[in-house]
Amino acid sequence: MVWHVTGTVIRDSGRVYRQEHLKHAQDLAVWLPEFLIEALRRHAGGDWGSLSGPVLPHPAHGGYTDRVNIAGQWDRALKGSGIEWVRPHALRKTVATLLVRESGVSAGAAQLGNSEAILAKHYVAHDPVAPDSTAILEVLSP
């Protein structure tokens, strides 16, 4: 399923609202895997094919939820799980790293809505070990 991202939620002077454009003022359309679509459907309580409100509504009033509130909900959900160290941003980095390794930098940048330079700088985990290039380097052997 293609998911259209047409705005973002921001907090300004304590007020949380939907900004009608993304950070870079362009809409984003991304393919979501079936397991994520099913999780979103369960979260929404059924069919949300025409969803136009918040994807993650605030639990108290149903309005928009910003990063601060999501972080608090995240902490409570993971308490005692043994994976409390996992942060929402880590999931974004995981997606970026997987897509870059499997499909290339352009695929990762497109999915996250970032430039390739921003993706490489902030999101892709770098291997601590260089790729095995010994066969190539053997040509330098005396």
Q: What is the pLDDT of residues 16-64, one digit of tens each?
A: 888 888 877 678 888 999 998 888 888 777 656 555 667 777 778 878 8
Predicted confidence at residue 139, as pLDDT, reads: 93
**Residue from 48, 2, 7, 53 nearest 26 by CA:** 7
Gap between the Cα atoms of 58 and 119, Å rounded: 29
DSSP code for 64: -
Length, in residues, of the chain: 142
* Contacts of residue 68, Cβ cutoff 8 Å, sequence gap at least 6: 11
Predicted confidence at residue 100, as pLDDT, reads: 92
**Residue from 69, 83, 76 nearest 11 by CA:** 69
Greater confidence, 60 or 83? 83
Residue 72 CB-density burial (10 A; 0-12 exposed, 13-18 middle, 19+ buried): exposed
Q: Is residue 134 very low, low, confident or very high in pLDDT (cuts 50, 70, 90)?
A: very high
Predicted confidence at residue 48, as pLDDT, reads: 60
Over residues 67-75, the mean pLDDT reads: 87
Over residues 113-121, the mean pLDDT reads: 89
* Sign, Cα dihedral of 95, 99, 105, 106: negative
Say what percent of the chain tops pLDDT 90: 30
pTM here is 0.73
pLDDT for residue 97 is more than 60: yes
